[in-house]
Structure 1
Amino acid sequence: MGDELISEYEEKKCNKKTGLHDVSVYNNDHKLICELAEKQEIFIDIEKYLSKDIIKLTLKFLWINLKRKRILYLSEYSKLFPEKEKLYA
């Protein structure tokens, strides 16, 4: 399932029809994500990955969508993934 999503991401990344600029972010970049989100330099769109089936995958793979302008702040991210709180201390 994870590999399929990553393949789907690669297709979307290369697809110019959507007009969206999506990049993938992995767990070791969480601190950077939060710093950028707090500065409102990036917008994290995580809503479509909140289903129970895909929640574990979301821990490894996030979408950052520069066009939709949805910001997931540090506090909201910590609520979704409490096990990651240590990264923000």
Structure 2
Amino acid sequence: MDSNSNNLKKEIIYYAKLLEGKGLVNSLEGNLSMLDRTAGELYITPSGTRKAFLTEDMIAVMKDGSQIGGTLKDQVNICCMKQLCVHVLIVML
């Protein structure tokens, strides 16, 4: 993974921790994702994991419907690559 990928992972973790810290998300449910439109990659936090304890290696990286990175599998349907899923979505332009 390149430095842009690492930056995106850091950013999604920052927002996940911020949202959990403010009580805006349930710490063990739901996912946050960030779409890198240029690379066609979707970064997703794993379900069932406290957002306060996320690390970069836990973030699932999806491309063309397949997981290409991350040690933990996301619990969101793979349909996310093709249609809108119901979870917090942070879009990178």
What TM-score results when the alignment is normalised by the length of structure 2?
0.30
Relative contact order higher in (CA < 8 Å, ≥ 6 apart): 1
Structure number, greater radius of gyration: 1
Could you say which structure has the higher helix fraction? 1
